[in-house]
Structure 1
Amino acid sequence: MRAISFAYNGTTRRVKLMKENKMGTMPVNRLLISMSIPMIISMLVQALYNVVDSMFVAQVSENALTAVSLAFPYQNLMIAVATGTGVGINALLSKSLGENDKKLVNKTGCNAVFLALASWAVFAILGLAFCRTFFQMQTGVAEIVDGGTAYLRICSVISIGLFVQIAFEKLLASTGRTTLTMFTQGTGAIINIVLDPIFIFGWFGMPAMGVAGAAIATVIGQLAGASLGIWLNHRYNDELHLSFQGFRPDTRVIKKIYSVGVPSILMASIGSVMTFGMNKILIGFSTTAAAVFGVYFKLQSFIFMPVFGLNNGLVPIVAYNYGARRPQRIIQTIKLSMVYATGMMALGFAAFQLFPQSLLSIFNASDTMLSIGIPALKIISLHFILAGYSIICSSTFQALGHGVLSLQMSLARQLVVLLPCAFVFAQTGVLDYVWLAFPIAELVSVAMGTLFLLRIFKHEIEPLRNNELVFETK
């Protein structure tokens, strides 16, 4: 049992409570680190498998690498729907937990699983119908179209593992069990890495399947991660009880999930539109330029994924303490996250500036790819340090139920500024100018994030100080 003292309108009261979730009691720095480190490790493993995947594909041919690169916008759209929905799940479930609303916690969990299965069904149908058209819209090179279609069709039709894995990872993270998500992501990634060369090159008697083999390895890894996620929730997540007996989708709960989730989905989907547009601009220079852009996205995942892992620790902490009305813990979490995120991005900036040739050589880069890629990595990475601040601002808005603000930042950065700048610079015929669109767009994102954050502090966080709960353990 715990004793709680709280002040409300000048009156101090004490009541007895059951032991509270660690998100409301553990020192913030230790809490943020303990919740983020497992996610950062799992995200790094995820980034490793993305790089290894493309590294093996690059050994098939440069066109095979380009095919996988051009598939990225569609794959990113699937991930956007899965993770965006997960952000809504995370925010609602953590807030409900902070408010001690166990019924809503369980309803959120059941509806989360339903939404994962519904999302898979939609993308499976789209994958069967439109994969080839998607590639034909980007290039007329037959080898790229055929390889990319085979790869993407497998990844979309058998994407049930992707959607289920992410949904159950969010359920674990929402109750503070981020360590367990490290095992689900790590398991899926390791299985993918092991199976990649077997299916791509035809090891151990398997037929050599090229890029299609990479897709098969990917979906097997996702299915394994999903299976482990289901078991870990059943075995260890005792604050969440999933029961589907007589289950019917709850429109009230789904609306609450998507009130935060849809802006997050749209925000990540904007990335797909941006990538598709950039591929179209770059192919106007050469297919190698598009391949370099794809390689950049694989490499930058090593820098951004740890920050996203930090976000997965930040969101439930902020959402929980917002529900529990503890502004000081919210402020401390945000400040610490900004420091850690900026530090991570600074390391990434240094790596891209000092070792661009070594990074590109991982992908069997030709002399032409090196001549394009080295200046590309150096110019694009100028925006890294600013990006850490912007990402934390965006995640804070999502945790507090203001996903629309995050959407506005992403929309302005990627569609209003980045793509038009890249298009204008492309008209000069100088490819290096196109990469300058990234740091220019990031400056706009930082300005918007700062304005939105100041507004939220003034109108939502500061007013909580008048009735903040103060805990004492007995």
Structure 2
Amino acid sequence: MYFSKLNSDGTENYRFTIVKIALPIILSSLISQVQMLIDRIFLGKLDVIYMSAVGNATAPMWTTISAIFALTTGTTILASQAIGKEDNTKALEFMASLFKYNNFLSIILFIFWALCPKLVYTAMGVSPEVMVYAVQYTVIYSPVFVVTGIGAGINSLLQVCSYTKPLVVTGIIRSLLNVVLDWLLIFGNCGFPAMGVAGAALATTIAEFAGGTVLILIVVKSKRLEHRPSIAQICSAKLRPFIDAIKMGFPSAAEDFAWNIGNLLLIRILNFISPVAAGVYTIVFGIEVIPVAIFGSLGNATLTLTGRETGKKDFVQLHKIVHTVMAWAIIVSFANLALYVLFPKPIMGLFTKDASIISMALVYITIIGIDLFPKSLNIIVGSGIRGFGDTKWMLFTQLFGTVFVVAIASLLVFVLKLGIAGVFAAVVCDEAVRCIINTIRFKRIGKVEPEKSK
């Protein structure tokens, strides 16, 4: 069977393994994205300025959060390659070192975002009417950074061990709590104060701490995590494995940072057009978060399995894995494009009651649906390239993409006067160009050895 657990020779079917790793991550991500969508729906119903504030606030904060997660990519790759070589001791060394040294950056970022958000938003060109709400949201949300380091380490461990089900359990807890608290604190239901943007930030912060606590308890008690280091191993872990992992993961973190910098510059351009433009951009791109969460989860599974195949030096199987996931991603993209074309008004109506904004954004939904095709392939092919050990390549193409998308957007907005449409067109062009470049690089895998495998 296509999704049977074992092949005829008794080895594990890679399609089954992809699903086993990716499905819980997909469910967890979908739950989280639905939680974020409900945040935006609630706030959008109050005032589009709130949407603009949250869009301006979350973009730079997610830049730094995603950097912490991206740094763990090196541990995921190196531990997976060690498992492929059947060197479980080495895999444990990487995981123990990660858990010991990964939390310092998250504490530094907490201090920065708690004290200095206005500096960032001033540089982004956020208007005074939006600034007050963006700063308010950020200061209340900033404690989440304290637990981000250990959360990123746990995610890496679960991927390496091919046991990602705990993410679903904690995702459900976190999201349900967040939605309930949103309803109570944003609108002031059941006698609670109506806090608006501040209520959304407080609800998310409480929910993140609750979900993180439950996740830690599950991981500590689980008997299915073969590569989980003990407390003694974590305490005695050496710095060298963490440094090696950072060297491998830093390009991924820098890549993610470059993408987010490009997004921040696009928001800066949108803020120049009007405060409402950033809100429209946030709404429209908020619609694609669910399919992108699916692609990202499939990418996580792809990275883990291609890392193992690289350790085995089985590059034929590596290509089969990536091609299979690419086909699945294209199917998901077609399904989402159909939804956007057939039901644009009901989808937009979830986020705002402003008829003019709904009318303005309808055409952009279709553009975003088209953008999903190159974006999904970039995510999957990029994960295969990283699993192979070439994280630098993805950094170089993203640096090119950041310069490219900002330059094209500036040309279309400031010279050709296309407004918001120019920004959306630039985003699609960027994804398409990088998709072609990355696919060409992927085809060379197996002909050029990764640095770590020499």
Q: CA deviation at 1:449?
A: 0.7
TM-score, with normalisation over the residues of structure 1? 0.87
Q: Does 1:303 align with 2:315?
A: no
41, 60, 69: which one pairs with 1:55?
Answer: 41
SS of the residue corresponding to residue 396 of structure 2 reads helix
AA of the residue aligned to 1:357: K
Contact 2:18 2:301 in 1 (8 A): yes
333, 347, 350: which one pairs with 2:321?
Answer: 333
Q: Judging changes above 3 Å, is the alpha-carbon distance between structure 1 residues 244 and 322 closer, same or farther for their aligned structure 2 residues?
A: same
Tell me how far apart the structure 2 counterparts of residues 361 and 145 of structure 1 sit (CA, whole Å): 26
104, 118, 121: which one pairs with 1:118?
Answer: 104
Structure 1 stretches (4+) deviating beyond 4 angstroms? none
Q: CA deviation at 1:156?
A: 2.1
Q: Judging changes above 3 Å, is the alpha-carbon distance between structure 1 residues 434 and 316 closer, same or farther for their aligned structure 2 residues?
A: closer
Residue matched to 1:153: 139
Within a 5 Å distance, the mapping from 1:181-220 to structure 2 comes to: 181-220=167-206
432, 447, 452: which one pairs with 1:458?
Answer: 447
Q: List per-residue Cα deviations over 1:360-388 (Å, max 9, x = no partner).
A: 21112412312321122222332211222
406, 420, 432: which one pairs with 1:419?
Answer: 406
Q: Does 1:446 align with 2:435?
A: yes
Residue matched to 2:73: 87
Residue matched to 1:472: none
Q: Does 1:142 align with 2:131?
A: no
Unaligned segments of structure 1, at least 5 residues = 1-19, 465-474
Q: List per-residue Cα deviations over 1:130-167 (Å, max 9, x = no partner).
A: 11222233346433111110111222233223332232
TM-score, with normalisation over the residues of structure 2? 0.90
AA of the residue aligned to 1:181: L
Q: CA deviation at 1:238?
A: 3.3
Q: Judging changes above 3 Å, is the alpha-carbon distance between structure 1 residues 247 and 372 closer, same or farther for their aligned structure 2 residues?
A: same
Q: Does 1:109 align with 2:107?
A: no
Q: CA deviation at 1:112?
A: 2.1
Q: Judging changes above 3 Å, is the alpha-carbon distance between structure 1 residues 245 and 163 closer, same or farther for their aligned structure 2 residues?
A: closer
Count of aligned pairs: 439
Residue matched to 1:252: 240
Tell me how far apart the structure 1 counterparts of residues 108 and 51 of structure 2 sit (CA, whole Å): 27
Contact 2:333 2:369 in 1 (8 A): no
Residue matched to 2:212: 226
228, 236, 250: which one pairs with 1:240?
Answer: 228
Tell me how far apart the structure 1 counterparts of residues 389 and 161 of structure 2 sit (CA, whole Å): 17
Residue matched to 2:331: 343
The percentage of counterpart residues that share the same residue type is: 21
Contact 1:78 1:123 in 2 (8 A): yes
Q: Judging changes above 3 Å, is the alpha-carbon distance between structure 1 residues 209 and 437 closer, same or farther for their aligned structure 2 residues?
A: same
AA of the residue aligned to 1:435: F
SS of the residue corresponding to residue 460 of structure 1 reads coil
SS of the residue corresponding to residue 72 of structure 2 reads helix
Q: CA deviation at 1:258?
A: 1.5
Q: CA deviation at 1:301?
A: 0.7
Structure showing greater Rg? 1
Contact 1:322 1:400 in 2 (8 A): yes
Q: List per-residue Cα deviations over 1:90-118 (Å, max 9, x = no partner).
A: 11222222233333322222222234421
Tell me how far apart the structure 1 counterparts of residues 312 and 423 of structure 2 sit (CA, whole Å): 47
Which has the larger displacement, 186-195 or 415-424? Answer: 186-195
Q: CA deviation at 1:190?
A: 2.4
Which has the larger displacement, 387-396 or 452-461? Answer: 452-461
SS of the residue corresponding to residue 444 of structure 2 reads helix
Contact 2:388 2:445 in 1 (8 A): no
SS of the residue corresponding to residue 241 of structure 1 reads coil
Q: Judging changes above 3 Å, is the alpha-carbon distance between structure 1 residues 124 and 88 closer, same or farther for their aligned structure 2 residues?
A: same
SS of the residue corresponding to residue 186 of structure 2 reads helix
SS of the residue corresponding to residue 195 of structure 2 reads coil
Contact 2:21 2:162 in 1 (8 A): yes
Q: Does 1:364 align with 2:352?
A: yes
Tell me how far apart the structure 2 counterparts of residues 88 and 257 of structure 1 sit (CA, whole Å): 4
Contact 1:109 1:242 in 2 (8 A): no
Residue matched to 2:116: 130
25, 28, 42: which one pairs with 1:42?
Answer: 28
SS of the residue corresponding to residue 273 of structure 2 reads coil
Q: Does 1:315 align with 2:303?
A: yes
Tell me how far apart the structure 1 counterparts of residues 273 and 17 of structure 2 sit (CA, whole Å): 48
Q: Judging changes above 3 Å, is the alpha-carbon distance between structure 1 residues 208 and 111 closer, same or farther for their aligned structure 2 residues?
A: farther
Contact 1:90 1:173 in 2 (8 A): yes
Which has the larger displacement, 170-179 or 110-119? Answer: 110-119
RMSD between aligned alpha carbons? 2.2
Tell me how far apart the structure 1 counterparts of residues 126 and 207 of structure 2 sit (CA, whole Å): 31
Tell me how far apart the structure 2 counterparts of residues 194 and 261 of structure 1 sit (CA, whole Å): 37
SS of the residue corresponding to residue 15 of structure 2 reads helix
Q: Judging changes above 3 Å, is the alpha-carbon distance between structure 1 residues 140 and 437 closer, same or farther for their aligned structure 2 residues?
A: closer
Q: Judging changes above 3 Å, is the alpha-carbon distance between structure 1 residues 197 and 143 closer, same or farther for their aligned structure 2 residues?
A: farther
SS of the residue corresponding to residue 459 of structure 1 reads coil
Tell me how far apart the structure 2 counterparts of residues 244 and 73 of structure 1 sit (CA, whole Å): 38
Which has the larger displacement, 295-304 or 104-113? Answer: 104-113
Q: CA deviation at 1:455?
A: 2.2
Q: Does 1:73 align with 2:59?
A: yes
Contact 1:76 1:271 in 2 (8 A): no
Q: List per-residue Cα deviations over 1:169-188 (Å, max 9, x = no partner).
A: 22111111022222233332
AA of the residue aligned to 1:278: L
Contact 1:98 1:320 in 2 (8 A): yes
Within a 5 Å distance, the mapping from 1:271-286 to structure 2 comes to: 271-286=259-274
Tell me how far apart the structure 2 counterparts of residues 152 and 396 of structure 1 sit (CA, whole Å): 35
Q: CA deviation at 1:230?
A: 1.7
Contact 1:139 1:145 in 2 (8 A): no
Tell me how far apart the structure 2 counterparts of residues 77 and 99 of structure 1 sit (CA, whole Å): 34
Tell me how far apart the structure 1 counterparts of residues 234 and 179 of structure 2 sit (CA, whole Å): 40
Tell me how far apart the structure 1 counterparts of residues 263 and 23 of structure 2 sit (CA, whole Å): 29
Contact 2:41 2:350 in 1 (8 A): yes
